[in-house]
């Protein structure tokens, strides 16, 4: 299982800390310090296992049409008007801690802008989470402008981009990771969409699940 880019130091640091406390447990001659060291060793190795799970980055078979940007559950599908996309459909995917947190581009395109927006760290499923820290990516595609918004949540403290302005990406390539959370919104131009292939409550996989079909 591959590990997400930029995550190995997190895993390695906790693993080394676990080894240190394990050694302290083995060399301790006093029972109470030994029990404390054993407890800390267990907690740290459990954390290492969690980080392996959280930062996993499995290979994906890229789906047809427009694909999901994130693993998780479709929480919301709305029609609205956006200043970058125009008349569009917004599809929101909420990621739980156990989901893969590497996000992917929904369609072939050129990155026209990447904007980091500072904000709060409210639960990503709340309406007020629009005020949260965000990374907004504008993509020029063959159906027009698509916008992807990565949103931090309560536990998510950093959105790490893998891309920069003017990068040319193929559908399903990785665009970044949200550490410990939380939600990704994709804005699709309504006039270019034939059908939305998902509904609220559906489970999707980034790069693999088709979320919309394009007009011929």
pTM: 0.83
Are 124 and 34 found together in one domain? no
CA–CA separation, 35 and 48 (whole Å): 20
Looking at residue 51, what is its pLDDT? 78
What is each CA distance from 98 to 9, 127, 134, 150, 209, in whole angstroms? 20, 22, 21, 17, 18
Are 172 and 127 found together in one domain? yes
Task: Please say whether the beta carbons of 142 and 181 come within 8 A.
Answer: no
Q: Where are the beta strands (DSSP E) in the chain?
A: 66-67, 72-82, 86-94, 102-104, 109-117, 134-141, 144-151, 158-161, 168-169, 174-179, 183-189, 193-196, 203-204, 210-214
pLDDT range class, residue 34, cuts 50, 70, 90: confident
> Quick check: 198 pLDDT over 60?
yes
Looking at residue 215, what is its pLDDT? 86
- Identify whether 127 is part of a domain: yes
Average pLDDT score over residue span 38-59: 86
Looking at residue 171, what is its pLDDT? 97
CA–CA separation, 59 and 61 (whole Å): 7
- Identify whether 61 is part of a domain: no
Are 106 and 50 found together in one domain? no
Are 38 and 97 found together in one domain? no
Task: Please say whether the beta carbons of 207 and 67 come within 8 A.
Answer: yes
pLDDT tens-place string over residues 127-186? 555 667 889 999 999 999 999 999 886 655 578 899 999 999 999 999 998 876 688 999
What CATH number did the domain enclosing 185 receive?
2.70.70.10
Domain span holding position 18: 8-54
Lowest mean pLDDT, pick from 26-35, 47-56, 96-105:
47-56
Residue in 7, 129, 182, 197 annotated catalytic = 182
- Identify whether 59 is part of a domain: no
pLDDT tens-place string over residues 68-120? 999 999 999 999 999 999 999 999 999 988 889 899 999 999 999 999 887 66
Q: What are phi and psi of 76, to 5 degrees?
A: -160, 140
Q: Is 182 a catalytic residue?
A: yes
Looking at residue 67, what is its pLDDT? 98
Are 43 and 91 found together in one domain? no
Task: Please say whether the beta carbons of 172 and 39 come within 8 A.
Answer: no
CA–CA separation, 13 and 79 (whole Å): 45
Looking at residue 79, what is its pLDDT? 95
Task: Please say whether the beta carbons of 57 and 102 come within 8 A.
Answer: yes
Are 71 and 178 found together in one domain? yes
């Amino acid at each position: 299982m591959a590990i997400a880019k930029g995550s190995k130091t997190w895993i390695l640091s906790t693993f080394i800390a676990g080894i240190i406390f394990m050694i302290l447990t083995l060399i301790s001659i006093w029972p109470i310090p030994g029990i404390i060291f054993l407890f800390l060793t267990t907690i740290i190795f459990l954390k290492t296992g969690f980080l392996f799970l959280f930062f996993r980055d499995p290979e994906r078979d890229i789906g047809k049409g427009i694909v999901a940007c994130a693993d998780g559950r479709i929480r919301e599908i709305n029609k609205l008007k956006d200043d970058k996309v125009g008349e569009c459909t917004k599809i929101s995917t909420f990621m739980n801690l156990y989901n893969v947190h590497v996000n992917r581009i929904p369609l072939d395109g050129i990155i026209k802008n990447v904007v980091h927006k500072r904000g709060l760290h409210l639960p990503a499923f709340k309406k007020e989470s629009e005020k949260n820290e965000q990374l907004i990516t504008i993509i020029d595609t063959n159906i027009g402008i698509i916008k992807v918004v990565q949103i931090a949540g309560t536990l998510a403290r950093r959105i790490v981009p893998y891309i920069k302005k003017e990068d040319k990406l193929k559908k399903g390539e990785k665009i970044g990771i949200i550490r410990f959370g939380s939600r990704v919104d994709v804005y699709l131009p309504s006039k270019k969409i034939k059908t939305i292939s998902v509904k609220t409550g559906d489970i999707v996989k980034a790069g693999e699940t088709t979320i919309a079909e394009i007009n011929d």
